[in-house]
């Protein structure tokens, strides 16, 4: 982090601005908004600032800047078009230990001004560390459109009820749940539509009827984290990850996706590397039950889709038996993600009319599949967990009648910046795996559709490491 974001209390504090033009006026506007007492040093004033001076909102000193004038002030902004003056201001302020900003000269600043989204008392500041004000403004525009204007009023409502709610709920997690329910439900909607009074009444009524001592009820969300690229998460997955008390995740969940978990949520690694399970499945099932019984909101985060080779069914079966509420959130499964990012359509009118997803790793460690059913004309086969059994897979497909020259692709760490796509055919594939040191997670796609990779490949990232 180049700069530490902080929010300054400037109410009634003396601040100095050097310069009286248009740029200075934008900074002064913000200072006034924060309640500062602003003195402007400038031989002449532009129209806007002249207006403020006339109305007594700022003090104007029609003299050039002198270092002594900074003494005792809380903050200084230099906004002149004279480089020498700007430098002088910066040096004088630094000597006095006063925070200084020189417009468009990050090298002379001890603080920079962020782009601001103002929903007071909610304030969001965006900074690119002075590198690209345009990018900061674009981010700000996106946030502006995402955050309802009513957030400010909502924060005021929270302030008014904060103590009452605190008294009512002894368990902090239960209190947090109450607030989340209020801030995401009907009461918040009333505020957004400008009905502040109705919202206040509804909140009071809710508070009167709710049982504050009831232990919180936990819940488990079985969430598909997708194949790796965090942009492929669903909105619901993201929302639940942001509200979880605890997240139990697998090895397959990418670091970029883990980044999006609520910062103070507890994280438990449930492992599951081949033959090296950090926690046996049985223990994971019971862990989920125990956490939910403690009243926690548990996100069980899995790679891809939880119901496709994810053992999600087994986990919620235990929850159902214990009467614990749960939800299942689908994710983009590796086959869909890898196929898209490798430019290999899984079906195509000219090549394949069906697609099957198969596991290449069976419970007893063998690859004992219904090969005959797989070896069908015009069908794409996608093998999950197939790397270990690659030789058997290729051999058996050929033995059951597939052309040895049938095309096949290996997609390693699909959709991530480390994605690798290697193509060959049933004869050459095992050799490619050994030679190119292909590692898990890798998906194997077998079928004529692989030919399209040459033409449709589009995602060729520079590896992150």
Q: Which residues have a catalytic role annotated?
A: 250, 272
Stretch that binds ligand SAH, among 320-328, 399-407, 425-433, 436-444 (CB under 6 A): 436-444
Contact flag: residue 298 with ligand SAH (CB under 6 A) = no
Check if the beta carbon of residue 74 is closer than 8 Å to that of residue 98. yes
Contact flag: residue 308 with ligand SAH (CB under 6 A) = yes
Contact flag: residue 309 with ligand SAH (CB under 6 A) = yes
d(CA 135, CA 126): 10
DSSP conformation letters of 357-410:
EEES--TTSS----HHHH--TTEEEEEES-STTHHHHHHHHHHTT--TT-EEEE
Output the smallest distance, CB 299 to ligand SAH, in A: 15
Using alpha carbons only, give the angle 396, 398, 399 rounded to the nearest 5 degrees: 60
Q: Fill in the per-residue mask, 244 to 273: x = in contact with ligand SAH (CB under 6 A), - = not in contact.
A: --------x---------------------
State the DSSP code for 98.
-
**Based on CB atoms, which residue is closest to ligand SAH, 287 or 358?**
358
Output the smallest distance, CB 428 to ligand SAH, in A: 19
DSSP conformation letters of 110-142:
SS-PPEEEEETTEEEEE--TTS-HHHHHHHHHH
d(CA 410, CA 443): 6
Contact flag: residue 225 with ligand SAH (CB under 6 A) = no
Give buried/exposed letters for 160-184 (b at 16+ CB in 10 A, else e): ebeeebeebbeeebbbebbeeebee
Output the smallest distance, CB 273 to ligand SAH, in A: 10
Strand partners, 383: 358, 444
d(CA 409, CA 445): 5
Contact flag: residue 415 with ligand SAH (CB under 6 A) = yes
Given 442, 446, 449, 453, the residue binding ligand SAH (CB under 6 A): 442
Check if the beta carbon of residue 333 is closer than 8 Å to that of residue 415. no
Contact flag: residue 425 with ligand SAH (CB under 6 A) = no
Contact flag: residue 304 with ligand SAH (CB under 6 A) = yes
Q: Fill in the per-residue mask, 182 to 221: x = in contact with ligand SAH (CB under 6 A), - = not in contact.
A: ----------------------------------------
Identify residues 383-402 at the interface with ligand SAH (CB under 6 A): 384-385
Stretch that binds ligand SAH, among 119-127, 164-172, 364-372, 409-417 (CB under 6 A): 409-417
**Based on CB atoms, which residue is closest to ligand SAH, 88 or 413?**
413
Output the smallest distance, CB 240 to ligand SAH, in A: 17
Given 338, 375, 397, 402, the residue binding ligand SAH (CB under 6 A): 338
- List the structure tokens of 59: 């003090």
Q: Count interface residues toward ligand SAH (CB under 6 A).
A: 23
Largest Cα–Cα distance in the chain?
94
Output phi, psi for 77, to 5 deg.
-125, 130
Output the smallest distance, CB 249 to ligand SAH, in A: 13
Which residue's Cβ has the minimum distance to ligand SAH? 304
Given 305, 315, 381, 393, the residue binding ligand SAH (CB under 6 A): 305
CB neighbourhood size of 297 (10 A): 24
Contact flag: residue 284 with ligand SAH (CB under 6 A) = no
The residue among 173, 163, 126 whose CA lies nearest residue 147 is: 126
Q: Which parts of this chain interact with ligand SAH (CB under 6 A)? A: 227-228, 252, 302-305, 308-310, 333-334, 338, 384-385, 411, 413-415, 440-443
């Amino acid at each position: 982090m180049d700069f530490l974001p902080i929010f300054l209390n400037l109410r009634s504090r003396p601040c100095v601005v050097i310069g009286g033009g248009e740029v200075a006026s934008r900074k002064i506007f913000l200072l006034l908004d924060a309640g500062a007492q602003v003195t402007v040093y400038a031989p002449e004033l532009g129209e806007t600032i002249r207006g403020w001076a006339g109305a007594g909102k700022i003090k104007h000193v029609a003299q050039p800047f002198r270092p002594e004038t900074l003494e005792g002030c809380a903050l200084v902004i230099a906004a002149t078009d004279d480089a020498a003056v700007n430098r002088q201001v910066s040096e004088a302020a630094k000597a006095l230990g006063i925070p200084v900003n020189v417009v468009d000269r990050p090298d002379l600043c001890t603080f920079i001004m962020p782009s601001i989204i103002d929903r007071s008392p909610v304030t969001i500041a965006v900074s690119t560390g002075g590198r690209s004000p345009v990018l900061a403004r674009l981010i700000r525009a996106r946030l502006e459109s995402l955050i309802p204007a009513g957030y400010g009023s909502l924060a005021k409502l929270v302030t008014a009820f904060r103590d009452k709610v605190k008294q009512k709920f002894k368990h902090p997690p239960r209190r947090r749940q109450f607030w989340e329910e209020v801030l995401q439900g009907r009461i918040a909607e009333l505020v957004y539509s400008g009905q502040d009074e109705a919202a206040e009444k509804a909140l009071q009524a809710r508070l009167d009827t709710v049982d504050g001592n009831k232990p919180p009820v936990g819940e488990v969300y079985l969430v598909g984290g997708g194949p790796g690229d965090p942009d492929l998460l669903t909105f619901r997955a993201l929302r639940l990850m942001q509200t979880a008390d605890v997240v139990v995740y697998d090895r397959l969940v990418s670091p970029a996706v883990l980044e999006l978990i609520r910062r103070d949520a507890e994280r438990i690694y449930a492992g599951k590397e081949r033959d090296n399970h950090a926690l046996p499945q049985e223990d994971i099932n019971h862990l989920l039950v125990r956490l939910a019984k403690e009243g926690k909101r548990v996100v069980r985060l899995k790679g891809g889709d939880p119901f496709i080779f994810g053992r999600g069914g087994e986990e919620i079966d235990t929850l159902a038996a214990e009467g614990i509420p749960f939800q299942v959130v689908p994710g983009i499964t590796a086959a869909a993600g890898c196929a898209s990012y490798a430019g290999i359509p899984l079906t195509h009118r000219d090549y394949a009319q069906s697609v099957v997803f198969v596991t290449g790793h069976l419970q007893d460690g063998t690859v004992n599949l219904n090969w005959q059913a797989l070896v069908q004309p015009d069908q794409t086969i996608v093998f999950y967990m197939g790397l270990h059994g690659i030789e058997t897979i290729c051999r058996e497909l050929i033995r059951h009648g597939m052309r040895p020259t049938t095309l096949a692709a290996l997609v390693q760490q699909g959709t991530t910046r480390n994605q690798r796509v290697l193509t060959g055919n049933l004869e050459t594939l095992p050799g490619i795996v050994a030679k190119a040191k292909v590692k898990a997670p890798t998906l194997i796609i077998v079928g004529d559709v692989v030919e399209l990779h040459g033409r449709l490949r589009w995602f060729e990232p520079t590896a992150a490491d």
